[in-house]
Amino acid sequence: MTKQQQWWKRLLLKLAASIIFYTSIPLPYLNGLDFQGVARLASHVGLIIGGILGLLDTGIDYLGMPVLTRSALVVSIWIGITGGLHLDGAMDTADGLAVGDPKRRLEVMVDSATGAFGAMTAIALVLLKITALTDLPENRCLLLMAACGWGRWGQQLAIARYPYLKPTGKGAFHKQAIRSYKDLLPGLLLLLSLSGLLVLIDKQQLFLALAMIIAGSAIATLTGAWFNHKLGGHTGDTYGAVVEWTEALFLCVLTVF
């Protein structure tokens, strides 16, 4: 096996590990999977998830399903593909932030029981995504890819930029995987290329492409900063919250354009 073939094999194994970790997409058994660096490919997995959703949405559209029902179905499948991983984190984060005593917030977030604020947050996120998609009848495949990609890039940024608040936990090894801003560049370049693809398809969509870049990067940055402001750092739950809120707010902002 040549060095180039070995490099591709390692990359595919890393991507497979990331897909298994972040999604419920069934993959065949593979030897040599290493889950320690899955966070580095989170944006790539987001683009894959968005691409799958976009293809499903396009196929359902050909069947003549109304846009509202189609959007609700896509968001439901969206939750299924991720296994509710990030939505669960957003719910736990909401329950924690609802506590008045900052010292008890992490303790509440660890509790697996869903509180009222967590349930309300889940309802709000699902409604925002469905209604925003309903108001976005065109370029839905690319917009879904962008939403999923920017959401996970926001997670990567939070990992690189802010301290991790627990000595152990599901998100602890992410901090070891992303040690500098250089690890964010591959995902960022892919997302910029996605916006460029929209312009290649239709030059009249330049304004929308720029809006995707500005809105995606700004929302991904601000959501991570807001949770850090509230908690003084991040946990695995807040990483999920960054993903969910970035996705939802990104789609909402794009309805303006």
Number of independent structural domains in the chain? 1
Is there a domain that residue 15 lies in?
no
11 in a domain, yes or no? Answer: no
Domain ranges, residue 183: 35-254
pLDDT of residue 168: 67
* CA atoms of 105 and 115, how far apart (whole Å): 13
pLDDT digits (tens, 9 = 90+) for 219-254: 999 999 999 999 999 999 999 999 999 999 999 999
CA distance 190 to 15: 15
Distance CA 84, CA 95 (A): 16
**Is residue 128, in this structure, part of any structural domain at all?**
yes
CA distance 18 to 36: 9
Q: CB neighbours (10 Å) of residue 32?
A: 9
- Asked whether residue 28 is domain-assigned, the answer is no
pLDDT digits (tens, 9 = 90+) for 29-44: 777 787 888 999 999 9
Digit-coded pLDDT (tens) for 83-113: 999 999 999 999 989 887 777 777 778 777 7
Residue 30 lies in a domain: no
User: How far apart are the C-alpha atoms of 70 and 214, rounded to whole Å?
Assistant: 27
Is residue 19 in a domain? no
User: Is 25 domain-assigned?
Assistant: no
Q: Residue 1 domain-assigned?
A: no
3-class SS at 1? Answer: coil
Cross-strand bridge partners of residue 234:
164
When pLDDT is cut at 50, 70 and 90, the band that residue 116 belongs to is confident
